[in-house]
Amino acid sequence: MPVREAETGKLHLERIELFPLPDNLCLDGYRTVEPLKAFAQLLRYPVAGYPSTEGDDMAGEKTFPQVVVAGARGCDLAALALVDKVQVEGEFTDPFYKIRRDKMLVIGADCSECGESCFCNLLGAKPWPEKGCDIVVSRIQGGYLAEALGDRGEKLIRENKDLFADARDAQIKMRDETRARVVKDLEGKNKDYPRAEGVSEAMRAMLGDEMWEDVAARCVECGACTNICPTCYCFLLYDQKTDGSHFQRIFAWDSCQVTGYARMAGMANPRPRLSDRVKHRLYHKYDYLPLSHGAIYCTGCGRCVDTCSASIDMRETLRRVREKAGSAKKA
């Protein structure tokens, strides 16, 4: 559940197993600092053991706990749906990811404000969940407005009807006015940046442009952008010895921005330069995945903007791409 940090005022995810709920629990504001992907794709975990199966994380599949994720924002829910396309809807299924997704009951929440880095509107999205969760709650004066977005949500409300009352027209109007205000705020904050429509074509025209060297010159290769991104799903498998005769194969998040990510046997590396890797990250999200999976793999959450040590703003980079592509086309 999201809790508000007193010092920074930012929202963080906190695991809650026992009542009472913490005093700093908060469903207002906008998305949490951490993405939701860590609930389905853990940062690090064992996937197999050998020569026996000891240590295999799936050995306890039947005992995996039901997880309730509360306060999920629209950008994070859209991101989970995108990663689902890769992990469970493609030719191959990641069983570790799937069991955790199946065990997630998700309560979404409207954004009652937007951050300086939020740009979901540029991707054609709204600052409230439209799908991807079981129930969505909207803060209104005196409480919350709850709406079921699926069968599980309807069942949950029906089985706990004593906790709910029929919404009045004035309350629905209050919710809609708050939503309109946040959309207006988003539009104002992002008025100088282009929308995502047509960005794939513009990027293809700029594939060999020198601007990528300029963008990459500021990158410090820390990998924060990929680790904090809700749609990045790259991983590494490695083996570790647990005792004299037993080994485990470990799954861990990885980053395409680090030097060794694409390195192969014989030290060959198809992306040896930092500019190649910085460029690859954006092309993967805005060109390659739209071609292979039919969607841009960015939801405008703005986390990469907040965490970048070099203050690289994806919105600014995409603006440069659009402007240079437009100029080249005119020429």
3-state class of 48 per DSSP?
Answer: strand
Cα–Cα distance, 259 to 272 (Å, whole number): 7
**pLDDT digit string, tens, across residues 280-330:** 999 999 999 999 999 999 999 999 999 999 999 999 999 999 999 987 666
Listed in sequence order, the residues at least 6 apart from 157 whose beta carbon sits closer than 8 Å to its beta carbon are 135, 146, 148, 164
Query: Edge-to-edge, what's the strand order for the sheet holding 104-109?
Result: 67-72, 104-109, 135-140, 143-148
- State yes or no: pLDDT of 331 exceeds 60: no
pLDDT score for 66: 87
pLDDT band of residue 258 (cuts 50, 70, 90) is: very high
Cα–Cα distance, 41 to 35 (Å, whole number): 11
Q: What is the mean pLDDT of residues 46-72?
A: 76
3-state class of 49 per DSSP?
Answer: strand
Q: What is the mean pLDDT of residues 40-69?
A: 77
The percentage of residues in the chain with a pLDDT greater than 70, rounded to a whole number, is: 95
Listed in sequence order, the residues at least 6 apart from 18 whose beta carbon sits closer than 8 Å to its beta carbon are none
